[in-house]
């Protein structure tokens, strides 16, 4: 099956009240772990590539690895650029075979974000590529975009932004943030705001970034084997599942992949100090990614069997 675009994927997810997982990929083991989970669950997948991933692996390697995964598993897979910072990176990914790109102008003044998004939409749509944009700011650090405090998405602005920019999906800020330290107190999301945005944009796919759950078993395992993750906390999976029933069709997960792999590798090294064959520790790390993604598909996303 060739790479697919998100259109039909999101239309069904919206109608049936679930979300598709957008998992960040950086190397072969991560791609294999995620796609093995998708195959085991018959679940659609979005594999997303950050600017950092493009720099680390190289765009050609990532695209070819994803193409190899497509030959191995018969699944609908979207190849998406995560947090494109400018027109050029979006253009490079459109030209390089991605089926979806994100232009992230969320740090810009409103009209500048709109104009930049519009420019990417014009280029991408002529080539049949989907465009995700972002309005509102997440707390924490997201590549070149940093913000000391969250600025949640304004519902009326969201309607105006979608109408005038022509973007196909919109990432909104309702209380999630990137990384492993999302909440100091009780984890909450602004569901009232989500409901208003969703009501004002009926049928329109929304996106949730910063949606890792930071499973405490991985935190404990990392700490047990010499790591230092302190009070890492994520978004509880039941909150994600609830959002998935309210117009959120794409849920972004990166930190949980990092945590699953790192916890497993730390454990492996502690238990096998003589090991120096990378296959020794990368194999269980890949398996840990698969298990985590499978769990995510069943619980937080609800997209098992939706191919």
Binding footprint of ligand 13P on the chain (CB under 6 A): 24, 82-83, 178-179, 209-212, 252-256
Min dist CB 179 to Zn ion, Å, is 10
83 binds ligand G3H (CB under 6 A): yes
Cα dist from 34 to 78, 89, 202, 252, 267, whole Å = 13, 25, 31, 13, 21
The answer to whether 256 and 291 have CB atoms below 8 angstroms apart is: no
Token readout for 76 is 């609908």
Part of the chain binding ligand G3H (CB under 6 A), chosen from 50-58, 62-70, 152-160, 271-279: 50-58
Min dist CB 269 to ligand 13P, Å, is 24
State yes or no: is 82 an active-site residue.
Answer: yes
Cα dist from 26 to 44, 120, 231, 294, whole Å = 19, 24, 26, 19
The Cα 145–Cα 138 span in angstroms is 9
Token readout for 131 is 């465009």
Each residue 264-293 as x (binds Zn ion by CB under 5 A) or -, in order, gives ------------------------------
Each residue 10-39 as x (binds ligand G3H by CB under 6 A) or -, in order, gives --------------x---------------
Residue with tokens 């598909």: 297
End-to-end alpha carbon distance in the chain: 12
| CB proximity list for 154: less than 8 A, separation 6 or greater | 135, 136
Min dist CB 2 to ligand G3H, Å, is 25
The answer to whether 66 and 23 have CB atoms below 8 angstroms apart is: no
Which residue's Cβ lies closest to ligand G3H?
52
Binding-residue total with Zn ion (CB under 5 A): 1
Min dist CB 237 to ligand G3H, Å, is 18
178 binds ligand G3H (CB under 6 A): yes
Cα dist from 163 to 116, 148, 158, 175, 301, whole Å = 14, 29, 9, 24, 28
Each residue 201-220 as x (binds Zn ion by CB under 5 A) or -, in order, gives --------x-----------
CB closer to ligand G3H out of 39 and 208: 208
CB closer to ligand G3H out of 102 and 197: 102
Min dist CB 143 to ligand 13P, Å, is 9
142 binds ligand G3H (CB under 6 A): yes
The Cα 173–Cα 139 span in angstroms is 9
The answer to whether 57 and 96 have CB atoms below 8 angstroms apart is: no
| Binding residues vs ligand G3H (CB under 6 A) | 24, 50, 52-53, 82-83, 142-143, 178, 254
Active site residues: 82
């Amino acid at each position: 099956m060739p790479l697919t675009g998100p259109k039909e994927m999101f239309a069904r997810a919206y109608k049936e009240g679930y979300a598709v997982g957008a998992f960040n990929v950086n190397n072969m083991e991560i791609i294999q772990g995620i796609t093995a989970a998708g195959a085991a669950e018959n679940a659609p997948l979005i594999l997303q590539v950050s600017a950092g991933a493009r720099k680390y692996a190289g765009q050609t390697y990532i695209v070819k690895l994803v193409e190899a995964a497509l030959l191995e598993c018969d699944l609908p897979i979207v190849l998406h650029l995560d947090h494109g910072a400018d027109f050029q990176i979006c253009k490079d990914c459109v030209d390089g075979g991605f089926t979806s790109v994100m232009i992230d102008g969320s740090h810009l003044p409103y009209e500048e974000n709109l104009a930049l998004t519009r420019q990417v939409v014009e280029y991408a749509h002529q080539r049949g590529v989907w465009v995700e944009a972002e309005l509102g700011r997440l707390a924490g650090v997201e590549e070149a975009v940093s913000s000391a405090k969250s600025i949640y998405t304004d519902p009326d602005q969201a309607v105006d932004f979608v109408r005038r920019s022509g973007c196909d999906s919109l990432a909104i800020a309702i209380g999630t943030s990137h990384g492993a330290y999302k909440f100091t107190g009780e984890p909450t999301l602004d569901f009232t705001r989500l409901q208003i945005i969703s009501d004002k944009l009926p049928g329109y796919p929304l996106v949730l970034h910063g949606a890792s759950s930071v499973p405490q078993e991985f935190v404990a395992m990392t700490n047990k084997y010499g790591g230092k993750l302190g009070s890492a906390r994520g978004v509880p999976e039941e909150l994600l599942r609830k959002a998935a029933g309210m117009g959120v069709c794409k849920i972004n997960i990166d930190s949980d992949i990092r945590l699953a792999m790192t916890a497993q590798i730390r454990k492996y090294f502690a238990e096998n100090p003589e090991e120096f064959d990378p296959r020794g520790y990368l194999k269980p790390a890949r398996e840990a990614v698969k298990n985590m993604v499978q769990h995510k598909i069943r619980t937080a996303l609800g997209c098992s069997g939706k191919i």
